[in-house]
Amino acid sequence: MKPRQLLQKVFPPMLATLADGPPKDGANWSYELKYDGFRAVVAISDGEIAMLSRNELDLAPRFPATFAALKKMKAKEIVFDGEVVVLDETGAPRFQLLQQGSGNERLIVFDVLWLDGQDLRRLPYTERRKVLEKVFAKAPAGIEAAQTLAMTGDEALRHAAAGGWEGIIAKRNTSVYESRRSKEWLKVKAINQQEMVIVGWQPSTANERDIGSLHLAVNEKGSLRYAGKVGTGFSAKLRTWLHDELALSRANLYPPPPPAPKPRRRSAG
């Protein structure tokens, strides 16, 4: 089976639900550090490779170092889920470095979905994790398994905060891999931030290949509430990167307004 065909079997990838804190029934959950990077789902079949974003965009041209590392994987047929990151000097991922396209690029793998003809998605997380650790025990340089935290959720969150990480991912031990956003995976922020949705942008008046400002919204129980715009704090390189990235995701989110009714003619007399 071709790599793209394998990926079609598992798309879309599973997404975590934002939570205010670690789950209360902590003994039933495992914890991983939250990697701040670019989601990548990979399929390898008989030496051929496909690496797609969560929106099914080809990531090979964007991350050639990671793609080169994947070519060294000794796997006949496998699909796995992960995140492309760039690490800073302390070993923590930094999305800003990833945007700049320089630094210590890695592919962090946190789930195995398919292996040698076997669909693993219905196995519990703990069983899939065992497969992952076995397969990636001797992975090529630039590819590694996500770091797990053998501690309570509160301890894991403090550990993440102390290291400057974005937060943790809590995964229920019995959770299967679902192609949707699920409460079986929870993301808990260690840094006090507000998560925003980019709903549009205005082009730069100086360069048509740059963004001038971003329009943001807050997701409130499935509905978007406009939160204003931001246009400062972006480097020239980041403005161009955002323009190109958002152009790929352009969509008509709302239907156009209905045409205005024609004015009625008043009869004379």
- The residue ranges of every structural domain in the chain are 3-189, 197-248
* Pairwise CA distance, residues 34 & 19, whole Å: 13
pLDDT tens-digit series, residues 193-219: 556 788 887 888 777 777 888 888 877
Q: What residues act catalytically?
A: 34
Is residue 236's pLDDT more than 50?
yes
Is residue 253's pLDDT more than 50?
no
pLDDT tens-digit series, residues 176-191: 999 999 999 999 998 6
pLDDT tens-digit series, residues 53-110: 999 999 999 999 999 999 999 889 999 999 999 988 888 888 888 877 667 899 999 9
Mark residue 66 as left, alpha or beta (left: phi above 0; alpha: psi -120 to 50; beta: remaining): alpha
By C-alpha distance, which of 265, 204, 255 is closest to 232? 204
CB 168 within 8 A of CB 153: yes
Mean pLDDT of the region 141-156 = 95
* Pairwise CA distance, residues 101 & 120, whole Å: 33
* Pairwise CA distance, residues 129 & 41, whole Å: 16
Residue range 3-189, CATH number: 3.30.470.30
Write out the H or E segment, with its range, that includes residue 128. helix 125-135
